[in-house]
Structure 1
């Protein structure tokens, strides 16, 4: 199993003011699978992702990545194995750094050689020309910036990508391009994804299974086929599906 989470709990604050935002969540994700977390804002889905990514340090339960237990403090190899793509391509790239500088940084931190070659290949892998090396974020469209953010996540050759609403800040016409890029990269690089979204259409396009979150808990884990057919068990899942009615996802493989 690539990812195994058991009894994950996260609280913010302390004493009487403490608020538990993730409550006893457990799930496994197989290698090569895309597992979705869906629910309304504030349900806890991004907090689960933050605990997995190491951005949230205080959590209870257990997390294992590729069979190795991980703690709040991660080793360099654990950090390299799992990378994150954020929602906002405008805010996640340093405005005064060239694209080349942004992509070189993780290679320098991890002491990886052939850096210029790796940066140019990472750009090509996400459908951008090597000439973007010298450009600045303000010279790129939103979709191009998100491609750079994906290239940055991929440059350390991770096994897992954690995707936090990766298309929600983009125009609808660009969203499908980025989702299809992510699907192609998953198949080509044999990646495992966890995708957070509030949009059932995005989830159905990319995910094999989805956990539906409400109030910090999983109310249902459903397959993609169940989402497409509407054959779901929980009333809240049906409410989310009804909100996405009219979307007809392409029936490409998983």
Structure 2
């Protein structure tokens, strides 16, 4: 396993100018995320100069099998906290071969709205303002992989009453802190505009922003992708359902 670890952490910049770009997009459910990686001849700072790519949309629920090619348009680039070095995470949206946005491509219309001169002039921000959350708040729950039950809960049972878990500290109140902190640092490494993290009434939560316009969308999706990658490594399952266990969590915000 030590050789595998050495290979995973291998610094490509010691031997080659080539970099790895992980292309990320939203799948057919509108919630699931997909990605695949490609080699670039060197670093690219401007997403518009990244090559378009394609994928089989019939395997993601985004096109019929008889016409399955979907084209990825790179829209935003981030530093890759997993491969590090000059490697990249690339947020994309998806189009037909004819250049039309596919039905699950919600970013296309949002970007058009944010590009209207009147909207640009307003400079809409999303995130934390004066310590009250008016914008994007991503709540999530970490589940035990084999039983799909929240981390730290007795299997098939419930923990004690709500109250001590919100921003709680110690092993009986906060579960998966190593995962949460890893995600926080990974987002900062990637230059994602993440405001902070905290354990919720039912842990956990992170806040993205303040970001301007469509950047809030890209920051949130890539932050969610990074979290899914970290939970994959940790062997737990991520749920972004605001109430994955009915009857316990009540959103009072």
TM-score bracket relative to the smaller structure: under 0.3
TM-score by length of 2: 0.26
Q: Which has the higher contact order (CA 8 A, sep 6+)?
A: 1
Structure with the largest fraction of helix: 1
Bigger radius of gyration, 1 or 2? 2
TM-score by length of 1: 0.26
